């Protein structure tokens, strides 16, 4: 019983010492942990600072490198575009030159012999006997000197003045057969014949039909004189 009490008393005396030692060791551990954490923190700050400085130093270099790469790429693209444009311009120029230049066609001209006009002899037909008779019959009348409408006595005087005479009824009838179309109209012409039934009348001829009329001498008709 005494030994148990002494051992319990010894344990009670030793317990405070153990607790104090534990407390001391705990405090030492805490201090070492704090010091380690502080050291790590400082190391982290220095690492972060170094990283930031490295980043800040590398950013301008990267920017310069990127700008240099962009300029190089731009120059390459500009060169490619220039080469393509020059090639296209040459192609268009050749195409236009081919389209403008006409095709050269060699033509051989064969000499043409000059035309020789053959001179044909003029053939004049001799007038027949009836035509000669008509021409001689009508040529005696002064067609270009036909007098305006006059009385029978005035008509005889007019023909006498120009050195001609009034044609007879028969002569005017023959002339009417071959008279020109200009004279064959409704006009009547005096003849040199008086009416057999009345001395106050004379015979007139209508060249259009060749009919004769006994009209008063005071009537005015046209005058066709004969040589």
Q: Residue 59 has which token pair?
A: 């950013």
Over residues 121-135, mean pLDDT:
52
* Distance (Å, whole) CA 203 – CA 188: 10
HEC states along 88-125? HHHHHHHHHHHHHCCCCCCCCCCCCCCCCCCCCCCCCC
pLDDT of 182-218, one tens digit each? 888 889 999 999 999 999 999 999 998 889 999 999 9
Over residues 174-182, mean pLDDT:
89
Over residues 64-80, mean pLDDT:
80
Question: Sheet of 212-216: strands edge to edge?
Answer: 147-150, 221-223, 188-194, 201-206, 212-216
- Give the per-residue pLDDT at 104: 55
- Give the per-residue pLDDT at 162: 93
Name the CATH topology of 134-223.
Answer: Mannose-Binding Protein A; Chain A (3.10.100)
Sequence ranges of the domains in the chain = 134-223
- 189 burial (CB, 10 Å; 0-12 / 13-18 / 19+) is buried
Over residues 40-57, mean pLDDT:
52
- Give the per-residue pLDDT at 34: 64
Q: What is the pTM of this model?
A: 0.42
Q: How confident is the model at residue 150 (pLDDT cuts 50, 70, 90)?
A: very high
Q: How confident is the model at residue 129 (pLDDT cuts 50, 70, 90)?
A: very low
Contact, 203 vs 194, CB < 8 A?
yes
% of the chain exceeding 70 in pLDDT? 52
Task: Provide the β-strand partners of residue 205.
Answer: 189, 212
Identity of the highest mean pLDDT range in 11-25, 35-49, 71-85, 140-154? 140-154
């Amino acid at each position: 019983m005494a030994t148990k009490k002494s051992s319990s008393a010894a344990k009670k005396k030793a317990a405070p010492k153990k607790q104090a030692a534990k407390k001391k060791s705990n405090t030492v551990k805490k201090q070492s942990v704090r010091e380690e954490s502080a050291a790590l923190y400082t190391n982290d700050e220095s690492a972060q600072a170094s990283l930031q400085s490295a980043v800040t130093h590398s950013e301008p270099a990267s920017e310069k490198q990127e700008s240099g790469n962009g300029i190089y790429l731009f120059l390459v693209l500009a060169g490619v575009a220039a080469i393509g444009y020059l090639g296209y311009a040459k192609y268009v120029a050749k195409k236009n030159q081919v389209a403008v230049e006409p095709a050269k066609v060699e033509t051989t001209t064969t000499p043409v012999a000059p035309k020789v006009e053959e001179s044909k002899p003029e053939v004049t037909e001799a007038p027949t006997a009836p035509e000669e008779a008509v021409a001689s019959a009508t040529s005696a009348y002064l067609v270009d000197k036909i007098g305006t409408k006059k009385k029978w006595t005035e008509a005889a005087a007019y023909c006498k003045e120009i050195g001609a005479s009034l044609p007879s009824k028969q002569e005017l009838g023959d002339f009417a057969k071959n008279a020109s179309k200009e004279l064959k109209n409704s006009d009547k012409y005096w003849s040199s014949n008086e009416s057999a039934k009345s001395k106050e009348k004379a015979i007139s001829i209508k060249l259009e039909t060749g009919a004769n009329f006994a009209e008063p001498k005071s009537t005015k008709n046209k005058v066709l004189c004969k040589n």
